[in-house]
A and B are shown apart, each in its own frame.
Chain A
Amino acid sequence: MATATMFPGLAVGFAEAMANTFETGRVEELTPEEVSTAIRTCVFLRDLFTQARQSIEEQLSQGVDARAFAAKHEKAVADLEEVVKTAQRVVTKARTSSLLPPVQQFVSSYRALLDDMVSLHQFLAEAVAKAKLPVRPVDWNRVQEAKAAYASGETKPFQRSSKS
């Protein structure tokens, strides 16, 4: 299963190639085969983003060590931010251009890919930000009370209360 740390490079490469194609005006020179390949690439990348989102949600719903999660995904957040910016440039450029129908079809696929990238970036950025939140000050009185409770035999060994 894809994870967000695996594939931003693919998306970055594709987004930059498309940005270059639009910004140099070569988009009108794309052959039908190239347009078709670009659309298939969008579908492929969307599938990867969907898998990545599912994988991250699955990990987080099982519970993870916050700091380990932040360390693992921090770079992916930064990489995704860059690719989203590049893809937004493409979509903005496309919006102000007069495009042939096949290219318009590609832009539609690309816009859907951008939506997926934005959604994943927002979710992952929120999770990493939460993981990196500074720990709030410890209430040391509660700590001392817990230690005293253990010393006087008032604590209990942890036992599950829920059914698994």
Chain B
Amino acid sequence: MPYFVHITDADRAYLNSLPLSDKAKERVEDFIEYAIAQVDDAFRNDPANRTRPDTGYFHTDLLLFDVWGDGQLHRINFVVDDEYAPIGVLIVVYVDHQG
């Protein structure tokens, strides 16, 4: 069962405003659906994927080639709060785009 992924309006607006083509933005949404909503416990709990110094979150990074837009590589870092994972909820608490 995938998790319910919650996101703030601010982070949603941030994602919508990224300098990516519409197609690339679809790939970002795909990533949220498969890499976050369907994240497995092994990935979440891998120390390499926990934030530092506060290890209360996991992070996952998307690398994306916007072949439909600027033809550049983009990287988007998602920080996710999994405190409520036992009840099936993950919260995207931080998004950072490195163009």
Contact = CB atoms under 8 A, between A and B. Distances in A.
B61 A156 contact: no
A12 B15 CA distance: 43
Interface residues of B, number: 48
Nearest to A126: B73
A161 B29 contact: yes
A135 B77 contact: yes
Interface in B8-66: 8-12, 16, 22, 24-33, 35, 37, 48, 51, 54, 57, 59-66
Contacts, number: 126
A63 B62 CA distance: 6
B6 A157 contact: yes
Contacts of B79: 138, 143
A138 B63 contact: no
19 contacts: A60-B73, A65-B60, A65-B61, A67-B61, A126-B73, A127-B73, A133-B98, A135-B61, A135-B96, A136-B96, A136-B98, A143-B81, A143-B93, A143-B94, A147-B93, A156-B9, A157-B5, A160-B33, A163-B26
Contact residue range for chain A?
35 or more
Contacts of B25: 161-162
